């Protein structure tokens, strides 16, 4: 048995593949099976004249997602999916599938989400999961090569760390407990034992918001470094993101193509330094006249585009009646494309004025909303790192600057409207200040005693950050919504399958 992604090693020899029928088409004395085996797709051709009657019958009985074993001669064929074609000599059916629910026609997202266990087999979903896998591997490689120790932080915890409003409560042998929002506090303890550590695990937030960036269960990577300040923390985050992007571009070009990802949006990141600015500078940009003008111009250009593509649609519709079949198909495809672009433009008409209003009225001291992040990011083609936040809107553990007004935190915002992918900071390392902070937040001092110990016994400056895996996958794959970046998403209203 061989695998489809190894076919190049078997050209002009006979191989056996095991897998599923992805697409099926027959015409007279030929059957075309687009077969998938988990590693890729390949075209298999069964010619009635070349096979026994039994084999022909087996081939003719196949349906979408039937499982099978195919034996045939591998031919190099550039026009074929994957670059090969199998000239089939034998077909062994494992199961003939009846009425596979996901057909090549279009389905709504709710339907696909309800069938997530099957949807995972579709090309785009398959490609996204492979990019996710590559990102995970790249992250481990990045940290392991730099002598970081991977640690597993607990999922049951006794303390809140990222605000009490997003806690999932549970019970731990009759004691109240929470699902971890972050592994950071435990990471800090481990960093005092190992110097450089990172966590890589599931985290939980009971955020009651249905947005394209929020999951209730998501995976976070949290490095924590003894003797690092904010600047070193940011350098590490930038290096890490650059390494991830470079790895995905190097190794997952085929998957990015399946996803239709415009990689010219990613290539600048391999070379260009990221933009660094303070929160105050970011607010100035957001509220500037230049930003307002940019949004006005964007709206105007959408109006022009709408006019142009509507006109194009009228013209090709007229042509449709007398067109040849191949041209008719082309026109149908283009009309569909125009339709979905018009939907997008329609959405922009609703969004842009709101974005503008929110940006212009932004007040220093507030947190950026999703739209503010989007507007800020529109002006750059690399991630921006926003630092020195108003202390009040950031977590209690962040160290403050000399004025005491700003938290030494950093948010990394991804381009193309993907928003915050990293949150991090230098940590408060002073015992007394940390005690004050815990009291101010109204946190239960008792449960934080162990955390205060880290400031009692050999405290050192230290820093770290958390990268959201799903937002990173969404961004690199160019996916609209984080629900497609994890095999079985958990979010408000979605617990099954
Ligand atoms: O900014 P956050 O809340 O930071 C922390 O949890 C820190 N303890 C990290 C640290 O310094 N060690 O979350 C970090 C990242 C966000 O930037 C975002 O990418 C992701 O986690 N994230 C979410 N991803 C999906 N769904 C959600 N509901 C998320 N909340 C945060
Ligand atoms: Mg954050």
Structural tokens at position 45: 């051709």
310 and 412: one domain? no
Q: What is the pLDDT of residues 51-76, one digit of tens each?
A: 999 999 999 999 999 999 999 999 99
Phi, psi of 482 (to 5 degrees): -65, -15
Q: For residue 110, is it within any domain?
A: no
- In angstroms, what is the span from residue 205 Cα to ligand 2's centroid? 12
**What 3-state DSSP class applies to 116?**
helix
pLDDT of residue 167: 93
Specify whether 355 is located in the same domain as 370.
Answer: no
pLDDT at 359: 94
Q: Which atom of ligand 1 is nearest to the CA of 215?
A: 26
Q: Specify the range with the lowest mean pLDDT, choosing from 6-20, 153-167, 198-212, 473-487.
A: 153-167
Q: Across residues 191-196, what is the average pLDDT?
A: 98
pLDDT in the model for residue 208: 87
Pair of tokens at residue 182 = 């972050």
Q: What is the pLDDT of residues 74-90, one digit of tens each?
A: 999 998 888 999 999 99
Mean pLDDT of 232-249: 98
Ligand 1 mutation target, pool 218, 465, 492, most atoms within 8 A of CB: 218
Q: The tokens of 187 are what?
A: 């990471």
What is the domain extent for residue 407?
Answer: 116-280+363-484
At 173 the three-state DSSP class reads coil
Which amino acids bring their CB within 6 angstroms of ligand 1? 162, 182, 184, 205, 207, 214-215, 218, 220, 222, 420-425, 464-466, 468, 470-471, 482
Look at ligand 1, atom 17, and give the residue with the nearest C-alpha: 422
Nearest to 393 by CA among 417, 427, 368: 368
Q: Given a cut of 80, is residue 160 above it in pLDDT? A: no
Q: In this predicted structure, what is the pLDDT of residue 325?
A: 85
Average pLDDT over residues 385-399: 97
* Phi and psi torsions of 28, nearest 5°: 60, -105
Single pTM value for the model: 0.94
Does position 127 have pLDDT exceeding 80, yes or no?
yes
Does one domain contain both 301 and 203?
no
Please name the helix (run of DSSP H) or strand (run of DSSP E) that holds residue 438, with its range, or none: helix 431-440
CATH code of the domain containing 167: 3.30.930.10
Nearest-atom number in ligand 1 for the CA of 220 is 21
Do 134 and 45 belong together in one domain? no
Same domain, yes or no: 227 and 374: yes
CATH of the domain at 77: 2.40.50.140
d(CA 487, CA 429): 39
Residues 47 and 158 in one domain: no
Q: Average pLDDT, stretch 226-248?
A: 98
Same domain, residue pair 266 and 307: no
- At 228, phi and psi to the nearest 5? -105, 140
Kindly give the pairing relationship between strand 30-36 and strand 41-47. antiparallel
Q: Is residue 193 part of a domain?
A: yes
Nearest Cα residue to 29 out of 1, 65, 53, 4: 53
Residue with CA nearest ligand 1 atom 1: 423
Q: Are residues 310 and 394 in the same domain?
A: no
Q: How confident is the model over 283-304, as pLDDT tens digits?
A: 999 999 999 999 999 999 999 9
User: What DSSP character marks residue 240?
Assistant: H
Ligand nearest to the CA of 393: 2
Residues for the chain: how many in total?
497
Residues 231 and 352 in one domain: no
Residue to mutate (ligand 1; options 167, 420, 469; most atoms within 8 A of CB) = 420
CA–CA gap between residue 326 and residue 336 (Å, rounded): 16
- How many domains does the chain fold into? 3
* Angle between helix 289-320 and helix 279-286 axes, rounded to 10 deg: 60
């Amino acid at each position: 048995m061989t695998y489809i992604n190894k076919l190049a090693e078997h050209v002009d020899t006979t191989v056996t593949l095991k897998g599923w029928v992805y697409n099926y088409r027959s015409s007279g004395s030929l059957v075309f099976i687009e077969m998938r085996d988990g590693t890729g797709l390949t075209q298999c051709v069964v010619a009635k004249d070349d096979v026994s009657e039994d084999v022909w019958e087996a081939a003719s009985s196949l349906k979408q997602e039937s499982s099978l074993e195919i034996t045939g001669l591998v031919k190099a064929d550039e026009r074929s999916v994957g670059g090969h074609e199998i000239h089939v000599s034998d077909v062994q059916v494992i199961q003939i599938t009846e009425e596979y629910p996901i057909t090549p026609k279009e389905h709504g997202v709710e339907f696909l989400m309800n069938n997530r266990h099957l949807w995972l087999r579709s090309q785009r979903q398959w490609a996204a999961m492979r990019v996710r896998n590559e990102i995970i591997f790249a992250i481990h490689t990045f940290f392991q090569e730099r002598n970081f120790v991977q640690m597993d932080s607990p999922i049951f915890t006794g303390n809140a760390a990222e605000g009490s409003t997003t806690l999932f409560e549970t019970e731990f042998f009759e004691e109240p407990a929470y699902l971890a929002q972050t592994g950071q506090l435990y990471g800090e303890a481990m960093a005092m034992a190992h110097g450089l550590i990172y966590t890589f695990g599931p985290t939980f937030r009971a955020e009651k918001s249905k947005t394209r960036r929020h999951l209730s269960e998501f995976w976070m990577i949290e490095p924590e470094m003894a003797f690092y300040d904010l600047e070193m923390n940011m350098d590490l985050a930038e290096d890490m993101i650059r390494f991830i992007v470079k790895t995905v571009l190097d190794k997952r070009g085929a998957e990015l193509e399946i996803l239709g990802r415009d990689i010219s949006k990613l290539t600048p990141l391999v070379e260009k330094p990221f933009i660094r600015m303070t929160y105050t500078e970011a607010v100035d940009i957001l509220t500037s006249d230049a930003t307002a003008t940019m949004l006005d111009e964007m709206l105007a250009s959408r109006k022009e585009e709408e006019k142009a593509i509507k006109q194009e649609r009228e013209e090709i519709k007229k042509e449709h009646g007398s067109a040849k079949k191949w041209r008719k198909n082309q026109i149908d495809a283009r009309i569909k494309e125009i339709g979905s672009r018009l939907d997008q433009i329609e959405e922009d008409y609703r969004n842009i004025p709101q974005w503008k209003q929110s940006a212009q009225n932004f007040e220093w001291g507030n947190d950026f909303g999703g739209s503010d992040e989007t507007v800020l990011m529109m002006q750059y083609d690399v991630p921006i790192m926003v630092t020195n936040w108003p202390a009040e809107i950031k977590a209690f553990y962040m160290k403050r600057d000399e004025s005491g007004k700003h938290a030494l935190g950093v948010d990394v915002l991804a381009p193309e409207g993907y928003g915050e992918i990293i949150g991090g900071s230098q940590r408060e390392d002073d015992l007394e200040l940390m005690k004050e902070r815990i009291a101010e937040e109204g946190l239960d001092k008792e449960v934080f005693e162990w955390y205060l110990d880290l400031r009692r016994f050999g405290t050192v400056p230290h820093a770290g950050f958390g990268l959201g895996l799903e937002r990173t996958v969404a961004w690199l794959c160019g996916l609209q919504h984080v629900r497609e970046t994890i095999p079985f998403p958990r979010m408000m209203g979605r617990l099954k399958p």
